Amino acid sequence: MEFALKHNTAEKARSACQVITVTQPRKLSAGGQRVDSSNKGMLSAILKRGDMEGKLGQTLLLTSGIAGAAQRVLLVGCGKESEMNERNFARVIDAIVKALTASGARDTEICPADIPLKGRDLSWKVRQATLLLGNSEYRFERLKSGKKAARKGLRKVYVNVARGEAARAAKAIGEAVAISAGMSLSRDLGNLPANICTPTYLAKQARELARGDKSLRVNVLEEADMKHLKMGSLLSVSAGSRQPAKLIAIKYRGAAAAEQPVVLVGKGVTFDTGGISLKPGQAMDEMKFDMCGAASVFGTLKAVTQMQLPVNVVGIIPATENMPDGIATRPGDIVTSMSGQTIEILNTDAEGRLILCDALTYAAKFKPRCVIDIATLTGACIIALGKVPSAVLGNNPALINGLIKSGQQIEDKIWELPLWDEYQDQLKSNFADMANIGGRDAGTITAACFLSRFTKDYKWAHLDIAGTAWKSGEDKGATGRPVPLLTQYILNQVK
């Protein structure tokens, strides 16, 4: 989808469809009122007749008889002004997309300022509308055979803002387009099945991302390199797989070399069977999404690169399968991590932390400003928080609060869980420095407790995205979260 700015007054719109907002009860936006006057009260007559109350998400498409304006007018309801909020803002955009996809219009003109939402400025409205519209055209169809049906729907969106707001709006659109591109990449990688999206495939995609871009550098460690670095924990997970593990490092350089980078570490389990602690069959296919943390690192780096932000970012992706096999790791096995700490693996299905701990030890070598790991780490996270926010835990309140604020800025919510010392006791092992599981209680927290033992030397936050990285059921598919959150956090480091 393409986006362009416009500065005309509403009655002079020239597009295939002009969107006009209506709030309850039956109140036209300022622009709508101008179109109404230049059409002899035609719109207000329609409202009066009772065809358009202005209820949230209600739409009415007028396809002819509008003098001097666009080919069509779409009236879209915003509900009561007092009830408008961020979620309803998204519903309004959603309704516009639905109505226009069903119509013959291929381009449209919208005026984000007309969606009445207190506490959010024009930049926010323009960016959020652009992001939602851009994401709405995402499809994953490359693995379906047969003729692709000709794509209907919107190709171009004109975003109408006052001339004085042009610079700010252009910046907002640029950010949204970059974030949307990052989310699409992240969703594509997540949606690909594990027989295609292997650790080797991810390494190839990293090189692909960096190809022809001077600000990106990729380095891939092979299993022999990991052995050399004594990453016994990571290697214990890949032991049962025919697919070789890869440790992918992607460096984005947008600032002076001396500037400390934000380091993102993404869990890249391309398929999680549970290993010898085999998972039950129910919905096991969804464990192809167990690399969505890694995918979000790809997506964020894509967005940051597209914007050429003046910051340094390093993405680290431990990529492996978790499979059962004759030489797979057994429950009770004890391994030595790169940090030197020993781990008793009581459950091979708690593999995410086993690969992350070595990647987090490795991360220190980049002298990070902060390290954020992103992982589909625990089913317990879905029990605790459902599928609305991701969980955040960490060792630095400023970092955690910065992430929470970023999530609020771009509607990609996270919620903090406590990382109190009391929980550390649950990881006690009789035979090693720690166990890799902490029992049924507070599973998300004890997983973070495990990681905290490897992140003492820098500011660190952990995002558990088990509930937010993908959707199940009819809408099954990767969401692209938390690319918006991570990109916003990095944007905030610039300003």
Provide the annotated active-site residues: 279, 353
Site for ligand BES in 287-326 (CB under 6 A): 290
3-state percent breakdown (helix, strand, coil) of the chain, nearest 5:
40, 20, 40
The position carrying tokens 């969606």 is 115
Give whichever of 272 and 344 is closer to ligand BES, judged by the CB atom: 272
Amino acid type, 354: L
Structural tokens at position 359: 């990647």
Q: Are strands 262-266 and 370-375 parallel, antiparallel or unpaired?
A: parallel
Span near ligand BES by CB under 6 A; candidates 348-356, 384-392, 412-420, 424-432:
348-356
Residue 174 interacts with ligand BES (CB under 6 A)?
no
CA angle, corner 133, sides to 132 and 139, nearest 5? 95
Q: How far is the CB of 349 from Mn ion (least distance, A)?
A: 4
Give whichever of 321 and 351 is closer to ligand BES, judged by the CB atom: 351
DSSP state letter for 485: H
Selection from ligand BES, Mn ion, Zn ion, none that 443 binds (CB < 5 to 8 A by kind) is ligand BES
The position carrying tokens 């464990």 is 287
Q: How far is the CB of 274 from Mn ion (least distance, A)?
A: 5
Q: How far is the CB of 111 from ligand BES (least distance, A)?
A: 40
What are the φ/ψ torsions at residue 398 (nearest 5 degrees)? -65, -40
SS (H, E, C) 75-117: EEEEEEHHHCCHHHHHHHHHHHHHHHHCCCCCEEEECHHHCCC
Sequential DSSP letters for 131-168: HHHHHHT----TT--SPPPPP-S-SEEEEE--GGGHHH
Span near Mn ion by CB under 5 A; candidates 176-184, 233-241, 342-350, 379-387:
342-350
Site size toward ligand BES, by CB under 6 A: 15
Q: How far is the CB of 351 from Mn ion (least distance, A)?
A: 5
Span near Mn ion by CB under 5 A; candidates 18-26, 42-50, 51-59, 347-355:
347-355
Q: How far is the CB of 374 from Mn ion (least distance, A)?
A: 16
Q: List the one residue from 11, 107, 272, 412 that touches Mn ion (CB under 5 A).
A: 272
- Residues forming beta bridges with residue 245, ordered by sequence position: none
- Residues 368-387 as x/- pattern, contact with ligand BES by CB under 6 A: --------xxxxx-------
Angstrom distance (rounded) from CA 256 to CA 444: 37
Span near Mn ion by CB under 5 A; candidates 254-262, 344-352, 423-431, 481-489:
344-352
Q: How far is the CB of 277 from Mn ion (least distance, A)?
A: 8
Q: How far is the CB of 357 from ligand BES (least distance, A)?
A: 13
Give whichever of 167 and 278 is closer to ligand BES, judged by the CB atom: 278
Three-class SS of residue 57?
coil
Angstrom distance (rounded) from CA 416 to CA 397: 10
Burial of 391 (0-12, 13-18, 19+ CB in 10 A): buried
Q: List the one residue from 107, 114, 223, 290 that touches Zn ion (CB under 5 A).
A: 290
Q: List the one residue from 36, 109, 114, 272 that touches Zn ion (CB under 5 A).
A: 272
Site for Mn ion in 430-449 (CB under 5 A): none
User: Which residues, in sequence order, are CB contacts of 386 under 8 Å at separation 6+?
Assistant: 467
Selection from Zn ion, Mn ion, ligand BES, none that 379 binds (CB < 5 to 8 A by kind) is ligand BES
ω into 482 cis (within 30 of 0):
yes
Site for ligand BES in 41-80 (CB under 6 A): none
Angstrom distance (rounded) from CA 220 to CA 318: 10
> Which alpha helices (DSSP H) does 211-291 contain, by range?
223-228, 232-238
Residues that bind ligand BES (CB under 6 A): 272, 290, 347, 349-352, 376-380, 437, 443, 466
Q: Which residues bind Zn ion (CB under 5 A)?
A: 269, 272, 290, 352
Which residues bind to Mn ion, rule: CB under 5 A? 272, 349, 351
